[in-house]
Amino acid sequence: MSIAEKWLANRYNRPGFEMFNYNIYAVCGDGCLMEGIASEAASLAGHLGLDNLCWIYDNNHITIEGHTRLTFTEDVAARFLAYGWNVLRVGDANDIERIEHAFDIFRKTQDRPTFIVLDSHIGYGSPHKQDTAAAHGEPLGEEEIRLAKQFYGWPEDATFLVPDGVYDHFAAGVGARGAEARRQWTELFAAYRSQVPRLRNRD
């Protein structure tokens, strides 16, 4: 997807018409980074300098079999540095401000992809299953769910609860921003079609 965006931008963008300028975000976990194909993709992305690509590594040290130390002890951050990536770390997955800061650095980084190591706790808030393989591979169970809701200050007996105002909050936030972004791009494309007709229908 990152290569495709670069190809589209190179082929169709023109001065005043930046038709393709989006970024690619992917969330990956410990199991993902154990796979050989992940190494191959990361190596190629670093080689090509895909600065439109950001991987967020959910670093919780747990797989379905147990703690990652059973089979996976490499320094992942060092590996991605060797691939030529910009490597950042957020030590607390609940620190939204630091996460936003990392994304801001990603958007300003040129000529290399970004890898964000996000230290987290699987099953966060579950008093008996947090940081265990049980939180990965099996349901928490009704009592543990009740205790986790207690931890979050959520109504303990509520199921599938969507509080009042969530829909309106979403619509006023990402919904409105998305609609405006789409409107701007559609207007830009209409102008592009009229001013760059030779390219508008090129295969």
pLDDT tens digits for range 29-69: 999 999 999 999 999 999 999 999 999 999 999 998 999 99
Closest C-alpha among 108, 18, 104, 5 to residue 48: 5
Between CA 172 and CA 73 the distance in angstroms is 44
Within 10 A of 110 (CB to CB), how many other CB atoms are there?
Answer: 8
Write down the pTM of the prediction.
0.92
pLDDT tens digits for range 106-119: 999 999 999 999 99
Between CA 160 and CA 16 the distance in angstroms is 47
pLDDT tens digits for range 127-148: 999 999 999 989 999 999 999 9
Single-letter amino acid code for the residue at 114: T
Alpha-helical (H) ranges within 28-155 are 30-34, 36-48, 76-83, 96-108, 134-137, 142-152
Domains of the chain as residue ranges with CATH: 2-120 (3.40.50.970)
Average pLDDT in the chain = 95
pLDDT band, residue 196 (cuts 50/70/90): confident
